[in-house]
Amino acid sequence: MTDERPGADREKVVSKLPQTLRQQLKVRAAELGIDIQDAVAGGVARWLELEAPLETVDTAGADNWATWLPEGMYGQLKEKATRHGLPYVQGVAQAVTLWLALHPSPRHHSPAGGEPQRKIVVNQKGGVGKTAVSAGLAQALAEEAEALTAAGMRVLVVDYDPQGHLTKQLGIPPLEMGGDSLLKHMVGEATEKISNLLVPVEGERFGGRLWVLPACADAFLLDVRLAPIRASERSLERALKPLEDDFDAVIIDGPPSLGLGVDAALYYGRRRSGERHGVSGVIIPVEAEDSSADAFEMLTGQISSLYSDFGAEVEYLGIVVNKYDARRGYVATSSLELWQGLGEPRVIGVVPDLREQREAVRVKRPLLDYAPNCKQAKVLRAIAKEIS
């Protein structure tokens, strides 16, 4: 990784870096055709420009590592790290992580043809936190790249639940009965463009990239209205198709049911021809308790039926164990172990049950804007990276 003849304007730097970051740096630099030492220099330069350090990077088990930086740059990094009470190793790790976030892998772009990633958050059981997971993942994907997320994607989150929890929690008025709505677009009765229904989510962290399609109470009639519609499983896809060129990711906050409306959502999230694996599909929020297992089995049965009936390949992106608190004792800890031991679909995140989410709901603000450094936000960012 070091240059035998780096030139008079560079100096050798010996520090430490976690093995995972070293591997990610090596792979990303190769993907983008950038020399590793230039990548690190770019990350340090950007880190030095920030007014405050980023959130702490886990450097446990970091190994010795060396590179070349422009003369004087490492001294500036050490000076800023000292000023903020950080170890030098932490400063280097934050700089490398920042560079990775600002230079996403070309494999993480939208699939060929401009089709967005489609993530369906669904579980028949109510109260498992589908809305919190949907909104949190959407925020993490849309967040500024320097916040170390999957990096500044244009994201649409669809409140597909007639109860409208996501819409209300973000302080957005639900769509009025009698006017245009997602349901009317699904059944072919809309009078205006569906883009007219979208509402932006405020917050500097999202930079105008995060939008909501609000709920409407007419969605309580979704299954009844879809029953006579030809190819009803394609109805959500037909409705959202005009929006797909405008977004990198579409997240569906599903209702607590397993009817025709959920069939349409699952079908929309199927893997399309030529799309890479692991970016579109189903995310299943559960709790660490027994009743979640019964609902999970019913959902997997419905997904199997979609494949049998329509040939729809719906991938499991993973399970999110939500509102976890080990202090609840054996039921919680043993249930978590069962979910983690399931194998497939795998657990992609365990979101702790902490006050910040409830507080964000109370003040009607996005969690990652209200408490960007809380444990829940960090877990949601990690999940977003995993499935984008």
> pLDDT tens-digit profile of 68-126?
999 999 999 999 999 989 998 999 999 998 888 788 766 554 443 468 999 999 988 77
Q: Quick one: what percent of the chain has pLDDT higher than 70? A: 92
**CB of 111 closer than 8 Å to CB of 120:** no
Q: How far is CA 102 from the centre of its chain?
A: 16
Q: What is the pLDDT of residue 105?
A: 65
The model's pLDDT over 162-206, given as tens digits with 9 standing for 90+, comes to 999 999 999 999 999 989 999 999 999 999 999 999 999 987 788
Q: What is the pLDDT of residue 4?
A: 42
Residues of the chain with CATH 3.40.50.300: 107-386
Phi/psi of residue 280, each to 5°? -120, 140
pLDDT band of 340, cuts 50, 70, 90: confident
Q: Is the pLDDT of residue 367 over 90?
A: yes
pTM: 0.71
Helix (H, G, I), strand (E, B) or coil at 286: strand
Q: What is the pLDDT of residue 112?
A: 38
The model's pLDDT over 259-311, given as tens digits with 9 standing for 90+, comes to 899 999 999 999 988 888 888 999 999 887 766 677 788 888 888 888 888 88
Q: What is the pLDDT of residue 110?
A: 46
Q: CA dihedral in degrees (72, 73, 75, 78; nearest 10)?
A: 180
The CATH superfamily assigned to 107-386 is P-loop containing nucleotide triphosphate hydrolases (3.40.50.300)
Q: Is the pLDDT of residue 21 over 70?
A: yes
**Which range is least confidently modeled, 29-33, 38-42, 144-148, 211-215?**
144-148
Query: What is the Cα–Cα distance from 375 to 367, expressed in whole angstroms?
Result: 11
Q: What is the pLDDT of residue 106?
A: 61
Q: What is the pLDDT of residue 317?
A: 93
Q: What share of the chain is helix, strand, coil (3-state, %, to 5)?
A: 45, 15, 40
Q: What is the pLDDT of residue 336?
A: 83
Q: What is the pLDDT of residue 148?
A: 44
Q: Is the pLDDT of residue 233 over 60?
A: yes
CATH architecture for segment(s) 10-102: Orthogonal Bundle (1.10)
The tokens of 50 are what? Answer: 């920030």
Residues of the chain with CATH 1.10.1220: 10-102
The model's pLDDT over 28-72, given as tens digits with 9 standing for 90+, comes to 888 788 999 999 999 999 999 887 767 788 888 788 899 999 999
Up-side HSE of residue 64: CA atoms within 13 Å toward CB? 2
Closest among 261, 232, 280, 287 to 161, alpha carbons compared: 261
Q: What is the pLDDT of residue 121?
A: 95
Q: How far is CA 341 from the centre of its chain?
A: 23
